[in-house]
Structure 1
């Protein structure tokens, strides 16, 4: 009985050791799998590059005041739609993480309306900011899909 226990333990140790060696051998490869080239965590510029590119494309209609890829901050200057010159908006996009996640992105917007020649602060609908965040996230995911496919 004692020999049987010892034999079973030895067999179990060999099996577990073999599994561990096989698992670790996959980690030793010098080449990363192709999918890793477009992983959700791409940070060669300090923040997630897909979120960064998507944010720049999304707010690119407005003149940029600041674009800091290391800190992940994009600030636009005031933009007035030519079809509605009595209203203008200013946006700040902040990328908070190196992962491509919804909570890694924050958009803030300010809005002003012209009243008697003076610009007066006006509220921004929460849906507007949420829509901008959704557009940026969708573009970022599309950029990632394109990178994985190529």
Structure 2
């Protein structure tokens, strides 16, 4: 009879370990990786950049080189002004310095488009929007 109890006692830790593994399997045990490289650049930054500039028509979108170029875009409320964006993803890691946004702005003066300055705050705001969106995508990869 003592042998039966010893055998049962030996099985308890195995049963608990198996039950614990099954219970914790659904919980994320680590963050989604910051480096996603199924394409040539960080896929979170890529998706966030595409989402952010989707208001304008795309001229080029090279996921291996990490370059997105939009065509000229004019807001319906300001038809005498247009912008063109270039987003460059420079690294495979999700980092602030892995992203560069360049904007070109033109205004219509007497029927001709003339280059106009772009506020540095505007470019910084676009970079912040893309980075925030990329971080949100990374977080949702953990939750999903």
TM-score with structure 1 length normalisation?
Answer: 0.76
Paired residue total: 117
For 2:127, which of 118, 125, 133 is the aligned residue? Answer: 133
Which residue does 1:28 correspond to in 2?
A: none
Gaps of 5+ in 2: 1-27
**Is residue 2:88 matched to residue 1:82?**
no
Q: Deviations over 1:49-85 (max 9, x none)?
A: 0000000000000000000000000000000000100
1:35 aligns with 2:11: no
Does the alignment pair 1:62 with 2:49? no
Partners of 1:102 and 1:35 in 2: CA distance: 22
d(CA) in 1 for partners of 2:137, 2:107: 35
State yes or no: 1:118 paired with 2:112.
yes
Structure 1 gaps of 5+ residues are: 1-32
Q: Please tell me whether residue 100 in structure 1 is matched to residue 94 in structure 2.
A: yes
**Shift of residue 34 of structure 1?**
5.3
How far did 1:149 drift? 1.3
Distance 1:95 1:82 in 2: 29
Post-superposition, which runs of at least 4 consecutive aligned residues in structure 1 deviate over 2 A?
33-36
| Aligned mates of 2:91, 2:35 — CA distance in 1 | 9
Cα distance in 2 between the residues matched to 1:87 and 1:34: 49
Q: Secondary structure of 2:30's partner? A: helix
| Structure 2 CA distance for aligned equivalents of residues 45 and 34 of structure 1 | 25
Cα RMSD after superposing both structures: 1.1
